[in-house]
Amino acid sequence: MMVVLKELTTEELLAPGHRLCGGCGASIAARLALKMTRGPTVVVQSTGCLEVATTIYPYTAWRVPYAHIAFENAAAVASGIEAAFKAMEKRGAWKEHVDVIVFAGDGGTFDIGIQALSGALERWHDFVYICYDNEAYMNTGIQRSGATPHGASTTTSPAGSRIPGKAEWKKDFAAICAAHGIDYVATASVAYWNDYMTKVRKAIEVDGPAVIHVLSPCPRGWRCDTSESIKMARLAVQTRFFPVYEIEHGKYALSVKVPKPLPVEELLKSQGRSSHLFKPEHEGEIGNIQRRVDANWNRISSLCGEVQK
């Protein structure tokens, strides 16, 4: 299944006029996902940019039922909602099936929310968990998270004269989810809208838990122009920095093949958060990152059954 542009709904379940920044990847991720709903849908959100900027009382941008409860528990809240609809259906108090979609940032997912998510996946609740990954705690002012890439300068991993930004490497979130044995896990990038939207629908149609990890640039945190979000989301894929693939019933498959990758330097030099890597005192870091990117790509493409080149 691929999305056909002409057939896409013009209905905007995430209404315009919210207060997210220009170029915000999270708003694109949420808006596109909501165009793929198949019927009655409830949205659950963890605390984060997408929540605070779309629900400032007495306004809301959400044209679907929406619940934000706290930061670390979106998956647990979704568990309760899904369980409640089922229970009420059982006693005849509720009739129709309701899809539950979670939107949570990388902080609310990779870090503080990983336990609740793991529990919900293990319990096999029927819901879709979409992690919009902007690679740091953008809502609180660009602090590093477990999703922040190595070498990125954030306000809690600042590039100094001795330390070149974040020392640690990004978690392999998709593999963590897949290790629960769930039927569907995918990575995506907002630059590849058709691939992402197709995956959202696929995830909704899974009977059980499904996870999508979507790269959603934050111009403010990545230090790039607001007009360049999609370009950044594409460059991350084209440099093999962020491989786009899916894991269906444990089987990996590349969604976006990158036969002629750009050097990772192309991505790093286009963002202010990595500009320090080009200074003489941090010489060698770009090479380290390139080697890691290559190794990761080889690992993923091998899992995907691609012939190594």
Q: Could you tell me the smallest distance in angstroms from the CB atom of residue 290 to other proteins?
A: 39
268 binds other proteins (CB under 8 A): no
Q: How many residues does the chain have?
A: 309
179 binds other proteins (CB under 8 A): no
309 binds other proteins (CB under 8 A): no
**Using the rule CB under 8 A, which residue among 8, 21, 31, 52 binds other proteins?**
52
Q: Could you tell me the smallest distance in angstroms from the CB atom of residue 96 to other proteins?
A: 8
64 binds other proteins (CB under 8 A): yes
- Judge if the upstream peptide bond of residue 58 is cis by omega within 30 degrees of 0: yes
- CB atoms inside a 10 Å sphere around CB 96: 8
* CA-to-CA dists, residue 181 to 59, 177, 210, angstroms: 40, 8, 10
**Using the rule CB under 8 A, which residue among 5, 11, 57, 162 binds other proteins?**
57
63 binds other proteins (CB under 8 A): yes
**From CA 147, how far away is CA 215, in angstroms rounded?**
10
Q: Could you tell me the smallest distance in angstroms from the CB atom of residue 37 to other proteins?
A: 10
33 binds other proteins (CB under 8 A): no
Given the complex with other proteins, which of 137 and 245 has the nearer CB atom? 137
115 binds other proteins (CB under 8 A): yes
234 binds other proteins (CB under 8 A): no
Q: Phi first, then psi: give them for residue 207, nearest 5 degrees.
A: -90, 90
Q: Phi first, then psi: give them for residue 230, nearest 5 degrees.
A: -65, -35
65 binds other proteins (CB under 8 A): yes
Given the complex with other proteins, which of 98 and 254 has the nearer CB atom? 98
**Using the rule CB under 8 A, which residue among 9, 22, 38, 40 binds other proteins?**
40
**Using the rule CB under 8 A, which residue among 24, 28, 41, 199 binds other proteins?**
41
In sequence order, what are the beta bridge partners of 133?
215
Given the complex with other proteins, which of 56 and 253 has the nearer CB atom? 56
253 binds other proteins (CB under 8 A): no
CB-CB contact of 180 with 243 (8 Å):
no
CB-CB contact of 254 with 301 (8 Å):
yes
CB-CB contact of 29 with 192 (8 Å):
no
Q: Phi first, then psi: give them for residue 85, nearest 5 degrees.
A: -60, -40
Given the complex with other proteins, which of 77 and 303 has the nearer CB atom? 77
301 binds other proteins (CB under 8 A): no
Close Cβ partners of 110 (under 8 Å, ≥ 6 residues apart): 131, 133, 145, 146, 147, 171, 173
Q: What is the largest CA-CA distance in the chain?
A: 69
* Alpha-helical regions (H) of 159-247: 173-178, 193-205, 219-222, 229-238
**From CA 95, how far away is CA 89, in angstroms rounded?**
6
Q: Could you tell me the smallest distance in angstroms from the CB atom of residue 88 to other proteins?
A: 6
Q: Could you tell me the smallest distance in angstroms from the CB atom of residue 31 to other proteins?
A: 16
**From CA 147, how far away is CA 149, in angstroms rounded?**
6
Number of residues that bind other proteins (CB under 8 A): 48
What is the footprint of other proteins within residues 75-104 (CB under 8 A)? 75-81, 83-88, 90-91, 93-94, 96, 98
Using CB under 8 A as the criterion, which residues of the chain lie in contact with other proteins when the complex forms? Answer: 40-42, 44, 51-52, 55-58, 60, 62-70, 72-73, 75-81, 83-88, 90-91, 93-94, 96, 98, 115-116, 118-120, 122-123
